[in-house]
Amino acid sequence: MPKIVSRSAVSTSTDAVPTESASASLKVYYCLCGEFALVIDKDITLLPRRKTDGALILRAQGVEGQTKAQIFKLNVNISDPIFIKRDNSLELQYRYTCTRCTLPIGYQTTPPIKSGPYVYLIHGSVTQQQGVVPHAAFEGENETYEALRAREELEINPPSTAPE
């Protein structure tokens, strides 16, 4: 005869009013493929952005007497470092990728890995609803698409140089 370990009942309701502790709870974010990627104590839309590429800035280490480090946990793989060309220099990025699909989630600009002062989340790389692509993932895509269409149009129909 099987043992009964617990006789407690669990009930939930989608109609329940959120409590104060529920709004202060941890936020979970997923990669675009649906894999768990990040848990953090605040909404990422409130995080500051990096001026160079619009990445979200996570403060991994606090500055004594000024600001505290953020509480977060990344579920990522570490990939090989790469160089990114900026306006007049090169930036070395230590990339973090999704454990399932290897999509880049974020990066660090200082070694050693996972102990630098900041972690940067790539704009649009995570979503709070599993399986739903955030609108930010495609921000700026229309401009890129229009530029590609214009270039393709020039390649197909080059401007005529002959006088009419």
pTM attached to this predicted model? 0.69
Number of H helices, E strands in the chain: 2, 10
**How many other CB atoms are found less than 10 A from the CB of residue 51?**
7
User: What's the distance, CA 70 to chain centroid?
Assistant: 15
Q: Per-residue pLDDT for the chain (164 aa), expressed as one digit of tens each?
A: 566 666 666 666 666 666 666 556 899 999 999 999 999 998 998 999 999 888 999 998 877 767 788 889 999 999 999 999 988 899 999 999 999 999 999 999 988 777 789 999 998 899 999 888 887 677 666 655 566 566 666 656 555 555 55
Output the CA–CA distances (angstroms, integers) from residue 153 to 1, 46, 100, 158, 162, in the order listed. Answer: 75, 40, 38, 8, 19
Q: How far apart are the first and last CA of the chain?
A: 96
Rounded to whole angstroms, the Cα distance separating 21 from 6 reads 26
Structure tokens at 105: 């989630």
Domains of the chain in start order, with CATH, are: 25-154 (2.170.150)
